[in-house]
Amino acid sequence: MQAILEKLYAKRTFGIKPGLTVISKLMAELGNPQERLRTIHVAGTNGKGSVTAMLMSALRELGLKIGVYTSPHLVRVNERFCINGVEIPDAEFFALLEKVEQASEILKQRDGLDVTFFEYTTAVAFLWFAEKNVDFAIIEVGMGGRLDATNILPPPIVTVITKIGLDHTAYLGKSIAEIAGEKAGIIKRGSALVIGQNPPEALAVIIKVAQEKGVAFRLAAEDVSIIKNKKASSFNMQQLFVESQSVSYGNIKLKLPASYQIDNLSIVISALELLQERLRIQLPAEILKHGIEKAEWRGRFCLLTPDILVDGAHNPDGAEALVAGLQAVAGKKARFVFVAGMCGDKATDEFMRIISPICQSLYLTPINNPRSATPLELARQAKAAGIRNVAVCESMLDAIKAARQEELSQPIVLCGSLFLVGEAYEKLGQIAE
């Protein structure tokens, strides 16, 4: 078992290779299980995971079997594959890994093609969901959309595009409009589309693609009204009054407390109502509401311990959302102690500029990834951004220990990379059972 797992991780050496040729051939060797799935396909720069978690939780509450494929994982690769919130068991995972490995070897020998890590895991997801005969599979795009391995799916019942920002610019383009064009590549004739709150330049591109393909779309922000009860919100939850153009859901107590989850929730409500229309079924609003209230998403603006809040923010949009979320709970004047580590290929200087106004102190650490930025370089950028109290630490645990020595009126904020968040879950003993 360990040997095949090592083979899987070794495939990361192939790097990121956008394109559908290899995954198409691989899935053909495996019998194209993705063609037997009813899917919801989710793309975007930020919010994909939260939207996926809420959709799964709502549909599961109806008694349905819901497969979910997400990335990256925080601690174990099994996290990427879940049915009704339960990770794929090791025995089933390894059996599917062997199937995909055999197909991968055929491609290597016959066509000279190498299968990447993400193509490999995508194949596992499609195989498992088809074998388990899930009612719906919610598939999260890995990167971009147009050339992402998940885009070999036949037209989904519902397609979702969340907020778009600048990220993965080496692959997706240097502007919001270019990146939007790549994300919009998942829009397929025969599907229907929900669009989250987006910059005008992104929205224009997405709508144009939808219109060219004859795909009906909803703008979630216009479709759903959400009002936050600030007095009933905390670092653990937020209370929101929610109504669409056709249904009142009343007060929803959301376990995802960040203010940016308001936009994500509007997407979820729009997608669920669009699903009803497409399938001509009735999904009771009260049951959907109860399901949404049970939704959780590790590593995104949540308390890991009573004194540590973790958030996977790793790009400028994520940083802005994090700051807004912290201020929404603690007030505009609140200041926070940050522990951060980042990949060097991110807009690290911009990230530092955005968190600077609310940063009391910053403790920097390397992350467990070859692309890790050096803490010294991050420190230089942080000081240039106006953060006065900056310390360089050898490890995440050292950074947390040092941060805890300060006088704290708010939770320590650990952010900058999901790799760092995953390490925090692993080493602080907070891995979900």
- Examine the domain organization and report whether 237 and 189 are in the same domain: yes
In angstroms, rounded to a whole number, what is the distance separating the alpha carbons of residues 174 and 85? 36
- Examine the domain organization and report whether 196 and 336 are in the same domain: no
Evaluate whether residue 311 is within a structural domain: yes
Instruction: Report which residue type is found at 39.
Output: T
Evaluate whether residue 432 is within a structural domain: no
Which residue bears the tokens 């068991």?
A: 89
CATH of the domain at 38: 3.40.1190.10
Dihedral sign (CA 328, 332, 334, 338):
positive
By DSSP bridging, strand 81-83 and strand 390-392 are unpaired
Query: 3-state SS of 124-155?
Result: HHHHHHHHCCCCEEEEECCCCCCCCHHHHCCC
Evaluate whether residue 174 is within a structural domain: yes
Identify the pLDDT of residue 433.
33
Report the helix count and the strand count for the chain, using DSSP H and E.
16, 17
The last residue of one of the domains, among 263, 293, 323, is: 293
Please count the other Cβ atoms lying within 10 Å of the Cβ belonging to residue 203. Answer: 18
The last residue of one of the domains, among 261, 293, 325, is: 293
Q: Which residues contact 212 (CB under 8 A, 6 or more apart)?
A: none
pLDDT tens digit string along 278-331?
A: 999 888 999 999 999 999 999 889 999 999 999 999 889 889 999 999 998 899
CATH of the domain at 318: 3.90.190.20
DSSP 67-89: EEE-S--SS-GGGGEEETTEEPP
pLDDT tens digit string along 380-432?
A: 999 999 999 999 999 999 999 999 999 888 999 999 999 999 999 999 864 33
Identify the pLDDT of residue 10.
67
Evaluate whether residue 433 is within a structural domain: no
Strands (E) in 287-385, as ranges, are 302-305, 308-310, 336-340, 359-364
- Examine the domain organization and report whether 390 and 253 are in the same domain: no
- Given a contact cutoff of 8 angstroms between Cβ atoms, the answer to whether 127 and 134 are in contact is no
Q: Say how far residue 353 (Cα) sits from the centre of its chain.
A: 23
- Examine the domain organization and report whether 321 and 340 are in the same domain: yes
- Examine the domain organization and report whether 115 and 39 are in the same domain: yes
- Examine the domain organization and report whether 288 and 307 are in the same domain: no
Identify the pLDDT of residue 370.
80
Parent domain of 217? 2-293
- Examine the domain organization and report whether 272 and 325 are in the same domain: no
**Which parts of the chain have pLDDT scores under 50?**
430-433
Structural domains of the chain, count: 2
- Examine the domain organization and report whether 8 and 129 are in the same domain: yes
Separation in Å, CA 323 to CA 232, 300, 414: 20, 13, 12
What does the CA dihedral 361, 374, 352, 417 come to, rounded to 10 degrees? -90
In angstroms, rounded to a whole number, what is the distance separating the alpha carbons of residues 53 and 31? 28
Identify the pLDDT of residue 5.
65
Strands (E) in 322-426, as ranges, are 336-340, 359-364, 390-392, 412-415
- Examine the domain organization and report whether 34 and 75 are in the same domain: yes
- Examine the domain organization and report whether 283 and 313 are in the same domain: no
- Examine the domain organization and report whether 282 and 324 are in the same domain: no
